[in-house]
């Protein structure tokens, strides 16, 4: 990286620390589906119980993202993420040591892990990095952090699948504790930026927390970003949760879903880095509009063409490029408009909308299949939401707010 891209040593340390933390948290979160058969056999866990735990996890992740964002903005991202990994460790420890059935299963995998993800996954680490970089390079920096999540997506399931086959689920979860310990150490180096102000007009250094919230929710562009990120969550979770069942329903073997998810994890790296770079060159709202429109086209081609190995590969690659590519420009617009003082909080609220969408995508996919025998209606909604999101980003005013500081 050039000296121009990395403003100072503190920014570099924070970038590495955030990437390490998010690689661990997002990587581990991606593996839980692989444990279901073992939980079913050893803990008598039903699909409903497991699905409920994952649903609770998503909601708590969303609810606690802005709460940990407040902690990060007030006391530092290192403290927020450190607390998150402690809670993560408690959830995993309870899951393998017990009690871990019934309500305790929901508490460990759902409540504790979900709460931990609110601090360790996506919103806080990405926003803390964004605080260290100016508008010109912020989307590239956040793209790098998001790409680390993609690496976790790709590596962690491979390790977990191998470990489950060799040592079983309890020992595999014990191994997870070492990764969490690594995340704990990395979180210490998420150092706050105190003295650099990249945009004096937009700094808001004297702004109070309540006035920042009032300002954000009175800004049309912020509310449109919140609505747009709901769509992102709906689509991602619909695919992640129901693509195995959908492919089986269309007469394809289990390998097809594995190919799709593996390609999504791999090409997500390309997408987040590419969108991060493009965000330094072009309007972020236009990029988001194009991205959501592209999702509608990709989903349409995938569901209307006959199922085959080639359509599976096509969908895995193209949707992988579009998977988390929404994060760098969305976070970048929030920072560009409102400054970085309350970035973790404001982006955390946007991410809460994402998790509401995630819950809706997971629930409606199953609901439509159970009641109508098909996932088609869920896909149609996903396409309609894509077109909606593509349009609502266009009116966003990306210009930084100019605040008049009073003595």
- Nearest alpha carbon to residue 31 among 146, 154, 114, 144: 154
Domain ranges of the chain: 10-189+204-392
CATH ID of 10-189+204-392, from 3.40.50.150, 1.10.1040.50, 1.20.1250.20, 3.40.50.300 = 1.20.1250.20
What's the longest Cα–Cα distance across the chain? Answer: 69
* C-alpha to C-alpha distance for 118 and 348, rounded to whole angstroms: 8
Question: DSSP letter string over 238-288?
Answer: HHHHHHHHHHHHTT--HHHHHHHHHHHHHHHHHHHHHHHHHTTTS-HHHHH
Is 390 in contact with 296 (CB distance < 8 Å)?
yes
For residue 200, what pLDDT is reported? 44
* C-alpha to C-alpha distance for 141 and 275, rounded to whole angstroms: 11
For residue 1, what pLDDT is reported? 44
Q: How far apart are the first and last CA of the chain?
A: 41
- Nearest alpha carbon to residue 232 among 27, 69, 342, 393: 393
For residue 293, what pLDDT is reported? 98
Per-residue pLDDT of the chain (407 residues; tens, 9 = 90+): 445 777 788 889 999 999 999 999 998 988 887 788 788 899 988 877 887 888 888 889 989 999 999 999 889 999 999 999 999 999 999 999 988 888 999 999 999 999 999 999 888 998 889 888 887 888 888 888 988 888 888 888 888 888 988 999 999 999 999 999 999 999 999 988 765 444 444 555 678 888 999 999 999 999 999 999 999 999 998 888 788 778 888 888 657 777 888 888 889 989 999 998 998 899 999 999 999 999 999 999 999 999 898 999 999 999 999 998 999 999 999 999 998 888 889 999 999 999 999 888 888 888 888 888 888 999 999 999 999 999 999 999 999 887 655 44
For residue 315, what pLDDT is reported? 95
Rounded to 5 degrees, what are φ and ψ at 29? -60, -30
* C-alpha to C-alpha distance for 180 and 84, rounded to whole angstroms: 10
* C-alpha to C-alpha distance for 20 and 358, rounded to whole angstroms: 24
* C-alpha to C-alpha distance for 54 and 36, rounded to whole angstroms: 11
Packed helices 47-75 and 113-120: angle between N→C axes, nearest 10 degrees: 40
Kindly list the distances between the CA atom of residue 395 and the CA atoms of 221, 281, 338, in Å, as whole numbers in the listed order. 7, 19, 17
For residue 253, what pLDDT is reported? 67
User: Is the entire prediction scored with pTM above 0.85?
Assistant: no
For residue 86, what pLDDT is reported? 97
Is 169 in contact with 39 (CB distance < 8 Å)?
yes
For residue 380, what pLDDT is reported? 97
- Angle at alpha carbon of residue 295, lines to 23 and 292, rounded to 5°: 85
Is 22 in contact with 122 (CB distance < 8 Å)?
yes
């Amino acid at each position: 990286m050039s000296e121009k891209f990395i403003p100072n040593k503190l920014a570099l340390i924070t970038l590495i620390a955030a990437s390490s933390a998010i690689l661990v948290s997002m990587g581990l979160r991606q593996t839980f589906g692989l444990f279901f058969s073992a939980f079913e056999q050893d803990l008598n866990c039903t699909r409903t119980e497991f699905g409920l735990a994952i649903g609770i996890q998503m909601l708590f992740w969303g609810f606690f993202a802005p709460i940990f964002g407040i902690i990060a903005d007030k006391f530092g991202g290192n403290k927020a993420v450190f607390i998150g990994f402690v809670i993560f460790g408690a959830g995993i420890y309870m899951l393998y040591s017990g009690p871990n059935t019934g309500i305790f299963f929901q508490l460990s995998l759902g409540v504790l892990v979900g709460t931990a993800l609110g601090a360790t996954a996506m919103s806080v680490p990405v926003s803390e990095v964004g605080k260290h970089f100016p508008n010109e390079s912020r989307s590239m920096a956040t793209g790098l952090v998001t790409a680390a999540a993609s690496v976790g997506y790709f590596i962690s399931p491979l390790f977990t699948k191998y470990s489950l086959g060799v040592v079983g689920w309890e020992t595999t979860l014990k191994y997870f504790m070492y990764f969490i310990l690594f995340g704990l150490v990395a979180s210490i180096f998420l150092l706050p930026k105190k003295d650099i102000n990249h945009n004096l007009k937009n700094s808001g250094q004297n702004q109070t927390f309540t006035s920042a919230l009032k300002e954000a929710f009175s800004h049309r562009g912020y509310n449109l970003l919140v609505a747009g990120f709901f769509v992102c969550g709906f689509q991602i979770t619909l695919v992640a949760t129901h693509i195995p069942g959908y492919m089986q329903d269309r007469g394809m073997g289990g390998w097809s879903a594995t190919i799709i998810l593996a390609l999504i994890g791999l090409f997500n790296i390309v997408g987040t880095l590419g969108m991060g770079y493009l965000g330094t060159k072009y309007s972020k709202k236009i990029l988001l509009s194009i991205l959501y429109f592209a999702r509608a086209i990709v989903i349409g081609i995938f569901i209307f063409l006959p199922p085959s190995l080639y359509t599976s590969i096509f969908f895995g690659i193209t949707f992988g490029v579009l998977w988390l590519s929404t994060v760098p420009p969305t976070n970048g617009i929030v920072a560009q408009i409102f400054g970085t003082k309350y970035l973790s909080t404001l982006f955390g609220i946007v991410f809460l909308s994402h998790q509401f969408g995630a819950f809706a995508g997971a629930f409606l996919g199953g609901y439509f299949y159970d009641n109508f025998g098909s996932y088609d209606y869920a896909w149609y909604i996903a396409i309609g939401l894509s077109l909606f999101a593509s349009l609502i980003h266009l009116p966003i005013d990306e210009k930084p707010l100019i605040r008049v500081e009073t003595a």
